[in-house]
Amino acid sequence: MIVIKIRSLPFYAFLESFFIVKLIDLLKSVNSALVVGIGGGGDVVSAIYVKNFIEKFEVECVLGGVVWERIRRDKKPGPAALEEISGVERVNDCLGWLKGGETINGVELICSKVAGFLGEKVLALDITKGAEILRKSLAEFLKEHEFDLIFAVDAGGDSIARGCEKNLTSPLADSVAIASLRDFKVILAIVGFGSDGELSRFEIEKYLSEDHDALLGVSLVEWNENLENFVFSVETESSKIPLLASKGYFGKYRFWGELDIDVSVLNALVFYLDLKRVYNKLLAKNVENTFSIWEANEKLHKIGIKTELDLELEIAKREGLL
């Protein structure tokens, strides 16, 4: 294994041994894992990077993802309910299997595109019913399907936000998904070191430094031509940037044509954290025991946080869609 030694950030000295060994030792005892993109949009694409890495340790993986097609793709604001997905193979209240080709409002889901690309079923997570119903659905599912570990995959790092960050725009999906996973054995995998344009590098570095005891390891996003072609065929920026970074991209990148972010090899890193050890610092704790996405949204409003659902509602009203 190659360990990249980068001295510009204070916590990177740990990468030389401690974190890498922790992760490898953990994966040696894992036979199967559920790898879930938690933020909606293209987070399920970042889950492929994590899946590819842990499969090197002969871990059998099943991919999943929160189903929320952003309003630039699906003109109905908010995440998708299973009842709205054409072709889904329903498992229970909040979970369903996608094989490829499933749609909402005539738009193929990104999770479905991933299923088609991999030739494998992908588990769709419906967060419209809130964190508590999703938690119960996951518990029911996990009784029938034994997984040693769950990887909750976040593209960019906004899942570890504290709520005070000026560019934080999409905390709702991450929070509901994480709150639903709190009772299980979960590793939070942060792909891309700011690749969503929400948390700054300084903020992510600070939070990871503060939570260094929760860090289990770091890996590097790898790519091949087939994967690259697929990623560039999917409408995602947060999951595209780590692949570009792994190919050596360095400099400014125009995110969705609106925001310039810095991209370097740091964006190709994946950080793995013990969810239980960071959970109480996360926004997710505020949306526990919610029974709809709207209730969860209001819980975040009460602590002064605006969400991606609010932004989509604003866009829909402005464009006369509501």
Based on DSSP, count helices (H) and strands (E) in the chain, helices before strands. 11, 13
pLDDT digits (tens, 9 = 90+) for 209-266: 999 999 999 999 999 999 999 999 999 999 999 999 999 999 999 877 777 889 999 9
pLDDT digits (tens, 9 = 90+) for 68-95: 999 999 999 999 999 999 999 999 999 9
194 backbone dihedrals φ, ψ, rounded to 5°: 90, 15
- What CA–CA distances, in Å, run from 16 to 3, 13, 193, 217? 6, 6, 19, 10
Q: In the prediction, which pLDDT does 6 show?
A: 39
Percent helix, strand and coil across the chain, each to the nearest 5: 40, 20, 40
The ranges of the chain with pLDDT < 70 are 1-21
Q: Three-state SS string across 83-127, please?
A: HHCECCEECCCCEEEECCCCEECCEECHHHHHHHHHCCCEEEECC
pLDDT score at 5? 40
Predicted local confidence at residue 20, as pLDDT: 58
